[in-house]
Structure 1
Amino acid sequence: MSRPTAPGHREDEPTIPGRPPEEPPTPGRPILSCPPEGAPAGRWGLVWGAVRGRLGTLAGWSLVEALPGLGLGVALARAVDDGFAAGRPGTGLAWLGVLGLAWVVGAFGARQVVLVVAGIVEPFRERLLDRLVRGALRTGGTAAVARVNLQVELARDALAAVISVIRAFVFGVLAVLAGLVALAPGLLVLIVPPLLLGLGLFAASLPALARRHRAYLLADERTTEAVTTVVGGLRDITAAGAESRVEADLDAHIGAQARAGFRLARTTGARTIALALGGWAPVVLVLLAAPRLEPGVVLGALAYVTQSLVPALGSLVENLGASAVRLSVALSRVLEAAPPEPPPVPPEPGRGGSVRLRGVRFAYGPHAAPVLDGFDLDLREGEHLAVVGPSGIGKSTLASLVTGLLKPDAGHVRVGGARADLLDPAWRTLAPQDAYVFKGSLRENLAYFGTGPVREAARALGAEELLDRLGDEVDPARLSPAERQLLVLVRTYLSPARIVVLDEATCHLDPAAEARAEEAFAARGGTLIVIAHRLSSALRAQRVLVMDGTGVALGTHAELLAGSPLYADLVGRWTPAEIS
């Protein structure tokens, strides 16, 4: 099968992306990809990326929430020693009123903390889902989306728990220490050493606790999977007489999970010792020192320890290890199902608008007949190509391959010298037949890919009257198919793309409007590929690609009339109105 090649093509041209072009376009909106250079990668890199932007706000509202814990002991001590014990109940009530006011302010801070945490974990969940869906679209593993979606929810909940536990402990302890300094600095000697010992013991046991909790979670997953498989195949198991073998297999899974649970339980004993040492030992020490202290000071110190320190430490040792392990396991599942997306690459210098297909084969499924097989094509920078052929012959498939929406089963597609599916999306854009316009402002609809001179684009495409009539808001339900296509054409025109593919994107326009749109894109600069809806598109193009399912023909309109029976037949069947 003859495959014409564009003049100026060199077979020894490199196909590996080189250095970036001198003037890369700026995408209109961010593209999710690998972390930027220097950014943390992996599970905890994702967590840090979700948290770091809100740390200041979280700390500020946590300080507000910690006000009751900060003033608790001091207010109680002053209320007793300076108020009720001194015979001044008004003073005592005033201090209690101050404490009550602190609780009101702290409650407002707690509400804001919940909102800040939600502002961290919900975008984190959305990013994980986005990555999961992108990975499924990239690899074809759409079944993984449903299977791993539960892990995304678990990761979201576990991250919220980790943030809450660490935040509550840090600010709870800071409030206790600051309150003790204000109340009686000498009490720090009774409280800080056992607290540090308890934290040290907990930190020392945390690696083993994390390992054993992870082992237990994995054993639980294996047991659940085995039980689910058995329940789904009970009839076949009975028919095959395999009850004993299946029972032994399930016993093995349940036994492994039980052993993992026992090992985890033994390790968690260290948490009880850490809590007793860091939380309850200070209570004993304060009580032992009580005869040498004022009653209010003792009451305040005990309030700090029992109402703030012990709950914060207990929450830390009980929940941090389990939540962190759940977060780690869930993120591992998500990352396994959705590996990092390769970063977008720029085209090679001087080849930003070139298109090259070599030996491309593509079929919609392993057992389907190929739509393209052994397909070759070369386009120069700035060329205007029209693609014609019968419906269902593969024209839209070609458009999707060039724009990187599909990957070939064999061969390669290079756009600007780079693989089409890896090329920065800012360099190429596809306007499909089904124009997508969403409800919102006109600016949001038109600036989807990038910003630019809207009036100039509207004037070039003949859309000024439509834009004036729409005003600021766009309601797709009130637009005709032709009007939606015209808006999408303006959006595409404003994009920074050097390669534009119009896949019957003007089929609802009248011939004159279609001609104006194609001439505007041709004059815009860059490479233009038009999947033709009318013969007039072929007449305006520099070259025409004819697809018939068994071969292709490439040439000018005149060359194809003489050398392609299919093209001559298509021309003969087009009406004069369609080519006027």
Structure 2
Amino acid sequence: MSRRAGSPAAPGGAGQGRPDAGVGRVTWQALRARRAAVARLAGWSAVEALPALLSGLLVARAVDHGFLAGRLGVGLGWLAALAGAVLVGAVATGRTYRSLGAVVEPFRDDLAARVVRAALAGATRPDARPDGAAAARLTHQVELVRDTFAGLLMVTRGFLFAAGAALLGLLALDPVVAALVAAPLVAGVAVFLAALPAMAGQQRRYVRAGEELSRSAATALAGHRDVRACGAAERVVADVGRRVAAQAAAERTLARMSAVRSLSLGLGGWLPLAILLLAAPWLVGRGLTAGAVLGALIYVSTGLQPALHALVQGVGGGGLRYVVTLDRILRTCPEPGDPPATAGPPTGVDESAPAVRARGLTFRYGAAARPVVADLTLSLPTGDHLAVVGASGAGKSTLAALLSGLLPPQAGTVRLAGVEISARGPGELARLRVLLPQEAYVFTGSLGDNLRYLRPDADDATVVAALDALGVRALAARIGGLAAPVAPDALSAGERQLIAAARAYLSPAPLVILDEATCHLDPAAEAVVEDAFADRPGTLVVIAHRISSAVRARRVLLLDGDRPALGTHEELLARSAAYRDLVGHWDARPAERAPAGRG
């Protein structure tokens, strides 16, 4: 155990940390939570779209049955009806903004509370470091999400209702005209949607560059006296300057992508207008009236074209900022209710790299304390099975926390599958590794929910196979099956460890770290669990508390002060007196306690 036994491993382990909640899921939850306000917004939007629905039809009637027929009063009457529709739409527009506030403002308050809770939780951890980006999230990113969420709702509902009303009006005028207009409109929208992923990637780089700039500037300002005392002003200024340049480059690239929006507007907004003008003689020849042609042009120029322009500009600008910024908030400010991510591996994963590569790893609890882990270099190939052993206080749990990313090293680096662990958020790390601490966490809910926590998409057959592999089938049957409720207080410590082990076994993470996670099981149950994880695809690291764990492992790492030793069980017995002493101490321990893991 490390000098601060158990302190790095919070209940539930790293693999049970909360990764990113999906932007779509959080947005949908926000809308569902305010269904009444959303319904009012939709209702007033329908009323607001009344002029878009009637404009072309009423103008056609005014021209054909009024002005061209020499009946001025009739023509003016149809136009007066259109003016009345416009007034009704204007009143509805004011009502839509009132309904919009009832949806947006509570969502903004929820996000602000989320950021504050995450900042407070991070600041109160034992290994806490100042987070200069927290202020940027609260003062900039939350307000940006609020504004873009409001804009996104307005342009989306505006396009749906206005474009839908215009197309219905065109269909009422002539189905052929509606088809001529709808084809290029669909093409323009399709081009825009196809370009959205690339545009979102550029927006994401811009947001990250801004956050890195905020963090760099905050660090420089906080330590400006030390910077001046050490003569490092030029170096710090250069570092902040690089962050400024990176943000500027990302913003320029984002601006260049506006060409895609222009292409979409040209296809969906201007091309229908050109088609109508070119096809006007043919349409008139087949019986379409002059008023109907004029009405169709009005539908396109005052209905479809502005609606598409608002959609493309709103989604292409504010919508992308909304998705990327909210995603960033959710990744950096996880909530206890967020489900773990089970998507594919994080970007940048090198499948040919070692599963774990640690270089020069150093960590101490306190500036003047002796290092618990000192200049440790370790490489684990994919599929390795390592047991970490050592006397109490040797740094075993500290090493587990360092390898899983729960503790940042004071020196050195850790890479998982070629990925720098310090550059990844909680959700990305959860897809790379799962850590089971000594105190297993089981929450109130069904047994199936507990087991699927790290892999919500696992079907019953997959879950049952995991239970069989770890010898947990009997416990599951005793509880009442996957649908049965679990009362954590009614379970023994060993039973909780078995459930947590099955949960980790189902995780898609390729690296599993067991930090004395089977200490409450009897030796036979422990052997079944460790053998199952060893046969599972991936890499296994076991913080051992019995000599049998070291015997089963492919390699053993002995932590013994400043002289760690790595080898097989037999090799360490042959060359390490400290290992022989440890093995003798383990063998001489009193009989194991009752098999808590079985009941």
- Normalised by the length of structure 2, the TM-score is 0.48
- Normalised by the length of structure 1, the TM-score is 0.49
Larger Rg: 1
